[in-house]
Structure 1
């Protein structure tokens, strides 16, 4: 992939410089491989801590995409809510103003749990309808790997639940060690039994 980006860097206008290439590659690695690993392991953790959800997934594999999306809404990717943005113009808010050029830290965690948008926001409801969550960003800041992540995680969980419908967590959840980086957060191990 790196070789392809390097070979094609001059085919766009303006050509991509090294910093832009590094940004695209970092976004691709974080947005695909590491995000999928982190989110899949956290979703598996939640489902195994809530056996009724695991059993429902095993009995109704068609809910996997909706269940994954609902859990993505609730489970933060890491310890930061979203990458900072720079205000392109002055914006007046109820609590004051944001000036053009100010650094803004959007709070996707709070937005995805807003009870005015998501009734009973902490309830895991794969049958929830309504507005989309903001875990993958929005508009031009939407994650490049969102569709692939949803598809891979749903396929992984559907396959696991079909193969191991009695899968359970084989440890006290409170005793799990977590990799808690700035961007990504996930269990280091996820001991299971069936």
Structure 2
């Protein structure tokens, strides 16, 4: 019983005293991603007048998202420059007029970046050891483009292959910090020291 209690106490102390650090950060690549509006707005070809949709809303929330080893990411996220860990919210609201026999829909196009992080975590169990860790996460550029496109809608059949862009809106995301209190940003030097600084 005493032995188990000792192990439990040591495990708790290890969790408290363990620490994780960043040794290197690599920006791997950017890519473009589309996020579609939920339901297209369509107007039956039998209608004599255009269909009006006064309030079309679209929202996309883009937090910094760990894609591998979330435990290590959560340990070191405060050490990353907050410019890359803030939560972004893209919002657009607009009236829409749809001609008979057509549909209109929207799609948000944003740039996302994959970032690799390498480092280590140390604890007192076992034997004050340290182990190598890695993770990678996705963050989104705050500038996006929202495209509104139109395509034929005849006899209940949508012909998306024949779609064309009728309008585009440049959107800047609302930015919220990941933490309410200021974080201690250790990664804020230059590229050689593994800073998250992208061109």
Looking at secondary structure, tell me which structure has more helix per residue: 1
Same fold (TM over 0.5): no
State the TM-score, normalizing by the size of structure 1: 0.23
Q: For the pair shown, which has the larger CA radius of gyration, 1 or 2?
A: 2
